[in-house]
Amino acid sequence: MKTALRRALAAGLLLATATLVHAQQTARKPADIPWENPKMVRVQVEFIDLAHEQLTALMFGERKSTDDTELRKQVGELVAQNKATVVETMICLATSGQKATTESIKEFIYATEYEPAELPNNIQTGASGDKAAPVEGLATGPTPSAWDTRNTGSTLEVEPAVAADGKSVSLRFVPEIVYHLGEHVWSEWRDFRGNADIKMPMFYTLRLNSAVTTLAGQPLLVAALSPKGQDGTPDRTRKVMVFVRCDVLGVPAK
């Protein structure tokens, strides 16, 4: 009798569990849950070069919204008229809450420390008090002893976070463009072996390190930088407008 009762209770519990699972599966239809996986964000950063006067005209007046769609359209018209130039476009896809990096670079390796020039410890002299043999060319020039690497080109680091409603994105990002301008000679050394000058490289960088909140799918002007001039110094007559746009993506449920 007890065994039959236990079997009946177990069967009833199993039936109730199956009914509950079926009800939950029926309630969670794919149409009700458009994104089963964590949201992904495609971050696009644009560097657009134009005259300083054009930037001043574009930015005239009040701007109270984070939506710069109309401003981006105006800049696009200047690009179409050859009055502005798209310097660089960087795109990086990242999962919400995760960091990601994209690079288009050339590694530049250079010496950062040098051992000083020196003469040999022992110099052979002539026999019987004769004059010493010439030591010309025996000295050793500055010798590199430490090295470093600098990436030249374009780099974009992003860390997006999508809001619960999926309509806005909080973004930490660092876009950067690095130019190698050449080398500066700090100390000269030349002998019959060749040139052993101490040189240090010179770089020009366009960089932004910021955190913003923007509406998904809408461009936002985040910075205006000064590009490098012909002499490698900042060109105050021109500006580089930096736009960012975040598109929220995901994988549809089956």
| Residue 100 domain flag | yes
| Residue 127 domain flag | no
Q: What 3-state class would DSSP assign to 237?
A: coil
Residue 188: what are its φ and ψ, rounded to 5°?
-100, 145
pLDDT of residue 190: 75
| Residue 218 domain flag | yes
| Residue 19 domain flag | no
Mean pLDDT lowest for which of 27-36, 39-48, 82-91, 228-237?
Answer: 27-36
Q: Are 220 and 250 in contact (CB under 8 A)?
A: no
pLDDT in tens, 55-88: 999 998 777 777 899 999 999 999 999 999 999 9
| Residue 217 domain flag | yes
Total structural domains within the chain: 1
Task: Specify the residue for token string 């995901």.
Answer: 250
Q: How far is CA 64 from CA 61, 75, 149, 220, 241, in A?
A: 10, 19, 43, 12, 18
Amino acid symbol at 34: P
| Residue 60 domain flag | yes
- Please compute the mean of the pLDDT values over residues 230-247 and round it to a whole number: 95
Q: Which two tokens stand for residue 51?
A: 């005259």
| Residue 34 domain flag | no
pLDDT of residue 127: 57
Q: What's the longest Cα–Cα distance across the chain?
A: 127
Q: Find the domain containing 177 and state its range.
A: 40-113+142-248
